Structure 1
Amino acid sequence: MSETLYRTEVLVIGAGLAGISTALELLDQGKRVILLDAATRQACGGQANDAFGGMLLSETPEQKRNGIHDSAELLYSDWLRAAQFTSNDPWGSRWAALYAERNRTDIYDWLHGYGIRFFPAVQWVERGNHGDGNSLPRYHVAWGCGRGVVQTLAQRLLNHPQAHLLECLFDHRVEALEHQSSTVVGCSGKGPHGDFRVQTEHVVICSGGINGNPAKVRQHWDSTTYGPCPSDLLMGTPPSADGALHDRVQALGGQVVNLGQMWNYAAGIAHPEPQYPDHGLSLIPPRSALWLDSRGRRIGPQPLVTGFDTHDLCKRIGHLPDQYSWQVMNWRIAIKEMAISGTDSNPLFRDRKLVSLIWQTLTGNKALVRWMLDHCPDVISADTLEQLAERMTALGPMTVDLHGMQTDIQAYDAMLARGPALHNDDQIRRIHHLRQWRSDRLRTCRAQPILAPKAGPLIAIRERIISRKSMGGMLTDLDSRVLDGQGQPIAGLYAAGEAAGFGGGGISGIRSLEGTFLSNCIFNGRRAAWAIAGVERNA
């Protein structure tokens, strides 16, 4: 079978958010582009189709309407404190500084120009266990979620006034990058009708990270930080994110760094309708639930509470003897506070139904909790604590200590009953703190006991660590050019999005401020396009 040859000015590998943003900007600059992806046309948009759609943004109209006075300097200061960059991460910190300065104009305003809007209430996530996270609320949820963002941009790309300059090749898997005289000049691989080659002047890799590949996740797992890689690790990323092009870039002499820095979540549950092996859902777990170890004892002495430090939650769970945990709550807590990350788990955000969303916030998300109880194998309920402990043990694998669990829950409830003047529990203090911000007040119970007679039934959720994002990747400069072992750009080769660690081989360091993934796919991609087109931008 003969080989099909394509020629273009710019080849963009990967039709996710980074690739679409890159191609869209290149068409704006009048460049001829091939956008290539191993998946089908129906999967265009990649992982962004399933994302919740939150972005870390500063100095926005939404912040100002919420009375938040932010600045690039404050954002960068928070970023450095959370990231803990070392002297080996100069490009990550440079990208972070640029993001702090440019995110409003280069991401928010750009999206706004395409008609993409954000939910009016700004969320305050990743505050840090000790005030070492976001000093202010910055998490902006896009109306339509991740799918709404990426599909809006995809339609703008396909219907672009210069769409005649664009060719899309789906079902084309890249197997090799081709180079001549130290310059990358194209790629080769397998398509639906046989072998293909692309000859080009510039290649932009937007192929995602490594976290859909269990072997690579285990290879690069940071056991010192997170404990040994769990034998029953859940996967929150499809197998298409296999890191194959990371290997190809390394073979060309490009640097791939910080792959041990991953953004995983501690509250994963098995997907009731898995699309791939070990497919999991990532919960946004209730703050008013008690987080227990595998035997049903409260984790401490510092209790686990979500919304402060995701990195630390994974560390704590990863170093538990059995590397899984339980959250115990009641129906009242679950319907007010439970959420699942993702587009389809948040249909009111996805479908832009503001009135229905407000009503759900006020009355509780009963449909979600019922669905979880009916369909999710890791979610169980009972009318009494004795019955709950029995069902937790049956789900296993460890035997739950009923007496110990009862002692811990009753002690917590007794503390709540003493009243605010006598509250001396760090979880309760954090709940009080959360409720000072109005967005969290609407989604967080006020001093809700677990064993309250009229708040049942009781609910327990078995949770495991779920692999999600690789925060390391191909080392890039501020023009998204891939750098070699001497720190010099490899001619013709660029990377954007998760393939580049969202910028510089790790723009977030060891800890993301959350919402830095979708936004940096846009930021990296646009900067790659500007560099290719010779557009002058702030360095």
Structure 2
Amino acid sequence: MNAKHDVIIIGAGIAGLVAAYECINQGKTVLILDRNTEEHLGGLAKLSFGGMALIGTPIQKRLGIKDTPEIALDDWFSFADFGPNDHFPKLWAEQYVNESLGQVYHWLGSLGLNFFPVVNWVERGLYKRGNSVPRYHVLWGTGYRLVERFVALLKNHKQTKNLKIIFEHKVTDLIKENGRIVGCITEQEKTDKTNLSFYADHVMVATGGITGSLEKVREHWYKPWGKAPKEMLNGSHPFADGIVHDAVKKHGGNLTHLDKMWNYAAGIPNPKPEFEAHGLSLIPCKSALWFDHSGRRIGPEPMVTGFDTNELCRRISGLEKPYTWQILNWRIAAKELAVSGSEHNPMIRDRKLFMFLKEILLGNHRLVRQLEKESDHFIVANNLRELTDKMNALNGDKSIDYEALKKEITQYDDVIRRGKGLWNDDQLRRIQHARAWRSDRVRTCAPKPILHPSAGPLIAIKLRLITRKSLGGIQTDLDSRVLDPLGSPIPGLYAIGEAAGFGGGGTSGFKSLEGTFLSGCILTAKAAAKSIKGNISN
């Protein structure tokens, strides 16, 4: 039998790393079990953009943004659309808005982690109010820096001898004795598949969600939307497959809201895939026109990013074909296009301030050229006829009619030419609204015709829905203790981060205000560590 630890943490993502740091601060012995290799320590957080929704920060105050926990909670409840039985999700939402300033913003600052001095305004809401003020803060250095810092804190900790990390071990089950979870069983995937048992006073599940399994995504697809799209990309990781969720359920834990997911509407196949259906999530351009498979503008209400991501996914999932097109030009792409994550944002990731500001001011031509070179789903052409031919060639059919496509774009361009006072198009109205906020203004083009000769060449991007986060998961209380269906804690068992739906088994409800994920991982991990502090028998 392996030596017994005070705490076993299943998963070495950011939730697991934060929990480990807090536990060894208390003098606890900690074992982290991770399914991936050491080079992937930190999980998806390492690849993330590093955005966090924070309330009442000094940065907001400096920019004249009046934000309070009361305003944020009102926004949160508007988007979440909680049901009458969502007791713990509601409590976690309240906990989040009240603690994000001290337990995330200031705490990270005390550890040498800082945010870029602007605040972005995302998820403003469409039919229901989302973020009524800007509160999306970007960590300077992205999620890569966040993970890098916590790895260093653990490695150089005076109690580092109390921490052990074992990689390439898949947890397949939990061990229960006398009604208490006392350990877990692992399988060594890349060797002889030997099963090993590990024991601890407390077990924390920090495995992420279920959206790395397209099979699970389809199984739990939100039923009012109909069937899941026939083609989807994986923006998570295959190891986020819900195996430990199933083990928790087997031992009495309650799983809730698995049909609530935070997917994105603008995925392309990863040019350097590491697994099947591996996708890149683009941050689509507000000024691009969004078309269905036949080259007709999706409507009657235009699709525009930045207001309601969930609604974009709903509309795409109901289309005849599982893919869409965005059409734009080089001018728009250089100013507005981005790829979510640290890998394609090296100037922020590597904290190169001058080069980052240069790309903001002069356009991110580097990224546009990179996508043109690497992705066959990113099509560049000198004119619309050539663009249409290339789009049809990629599809292997003639589904896009040139004349119909030209008419759609020309109609939009004609509205722009009439002048600002006559812009009677909802997309233009939303662009104007976005440009009214200073940090969005520098990333959103002033309207100009798509087919304007000086703005070319033209670009078409073929997009599919891409999975990302589970909003539901293992139900927990405010101490991150796993609950049974009657609401009673299961002794010895905790769930943190995405595995717990970022708190309570689904604290975002139906829609996230965005940026609640990394910070939700931090808050749930700290709550779990605080709960076990000085209480080995709880």
Paired residue secondary structure (2:119): coil
The answer for the alignment partner of 2:222 in structure 1 is: 222
Larger mean Cα displacement after TM superposition, 160-169 or 282-291: 160-169
Let me know the Cα RMSD of the aligned residues: 1.3
Segments of structure 1 that go 5 or more residues without pairing to the other structure are none
Q: In the alignment, which residue of structure 2 is the partner of 1:258?
A: 257
Q: Is the 8 A contact 1:186 1:200 kept in 2?
A: yes
- Asked if the contact 1:190–1:196 (Cα under 8 Å) also holds between the matched residues in 2, the reply is yes
Quote the residue 1:471 is aligned against.
471
Aligned with 1:6: secondary structure? coil
Give the structure 2 partner of residue 173 of structure 1: 170
Q: Equivalent residue of 2:208, what SS? A: coil
How far did residue 323 of structure 1 move? Answer: 2.5
CA distance 1:78–1:534, shift in 2 (3 Å): farther
CA distance in 2, matches of 1:37, 1:198: 13
Q: Which of 74, 78, 88 is equivalent to 2:75?
A: 78
| Residue identity matched to 1:514 | E
> Which residue of the partner structure matches residue 453 of structure 1?
453
Contact 2:78 2:128 survives alignment (8 Å): no
The answer to whether the 8 A contact 2:245-2:499 is kept is yes
State, as a whole percentage, how many aligned pairs show the same letter: 49
Q: Deviations over 1:249-290 (max 9, x none)?
A: 010011011111010001111111111000110000111110
2:125 matched to 1:132? no
Instruction: Report the alpha carbon displacement of residue 171 of structure 1 after superposing the two structures with TM.
Output: 2.0
- AA at the equivalent of 2:369: R
Tell me by how many angstroms 1:365 deviates.
0.6
Report deviation, 1:104: 0.6
Q: What amino acid does structure 1 have at the position aligned with 2:468?
A: R
Q: What secondary structure is seen at the aligned counterpart in 1 of 2:118?
A: coil
- Residue 57, structure 1, aligned to residue 77, structure 2: no
Q: Could you tell me how far 1:534 is from its partner in structure 2?
A: 4.9
Residue of structure 2 equivalent to 1:428: 428
3-state SS in 1 of match to 2:302: coil
CA distance in 1, matches of 2:14, 2:5: 21
Deviation at 1:397, TM superposition (A): 5.7
Greater mean alpha carbon deviation, residues 330-339 or residues 526-535 = 526-535
Structure 1 letter corresponding to 2:522: I
Give the counterpart letter for 1:453 in structure 2: P
In structure 2, what is the Cα distance between the partners aligned to 1:516 and 1:116?
17
Q: Which amino acid aligns with 2:144?
A: R
Q: Does structure 2 conserve the Cα–Cα contact (< 8 Å) formed by 1:333 and 1:448?
A: no
CA distances 1:37-87 after superposition (whole Å, capped 9, x unpaired) = 122222111111111110010111111121111100000000000010101
Query: In structure 2, what is the equivalent of residue 88 of structure 1?
Result: 85
Partner of 2:402: 402
Q: Which amino acid aligns with 1:64?
A: K
Tell whether the 8 Å contact from 2:284 to 2:338 is kept in structure 1 after alignment.
yes
Question: How high is the TM-score relative to the length of structure 1?
Answer: 0.97
**Partner residue of 1:212?**
212
Shift of the alpha carbon at 1:355? 1.4
Tell me the CA shift for residue 129 of structure 1: 1.3
**Deviation sequence 1:458-485 (CA, Å, 0-9, x none):** 1100100001111110000000000012
Is the counterpart of residue 286 in structure 1 residue 285 in structure 2?
yes
What is the TM-score normalised by the length of structure 2?
Answer: 0.97
Please identify, of 424-433 and 40-49, the stretch whose mean Cα deviation from structure 2 is larger: 40-49
Structure 1 distance, partners of 2:504, 2:250, is 19
- Structure 1 residue 20 and structure 2 residue 42: aligned? no
CA distance in structure 1 between the partners assigned to 2:322 and 2:180 by the alignment: 46
Conserved? CA contact 1:6–1:197, under 8 Å: no
Q: CA deviation at 1:131?
A: 5.9
Partner of 1:68: 65
Instruction: Give 1:143's aligned amino acid.
Output: W
Counterpart in 1 of 2:387?
388
Match of 1:110 in 2: 107
Tell me, in whole angstroms, the C-alpha distance in 1 between the residues paired with 2:336 and 2:330: 10
* C-alpha distance in structure 1 between counterparts of 2:467 and 2:187, whole Å: 29
Deviations 1:137-163 (A, max 9, x none): 111110111111012012101211211
CA contact (8 A) 1:288 1:448 kept: no
Shift of 1:88: 2.4
* Whole-angstrom distance in 1 between the partners of 2:307 and 2:381: 30
Q: Distance in 1 between matches of 2:164 and 2:394?
A: 51
Distance (Å, rounded) in 2 between the aligned partners of 1:64 and 1:355: 25
**Offset, 1:298:** 0.8
Distance 1:384 1:510, change over 3 A: same
Q: Do the aligned residues in 1 keep the contact of 2:381 with 2:387 (CA within 8 Å)?
A: yes
Residue 44 (str. 1) matches residue 41 (str. 2): yes
More displaced 10-residue stretch of structure 1: 268-277 or 398-407: 398-407
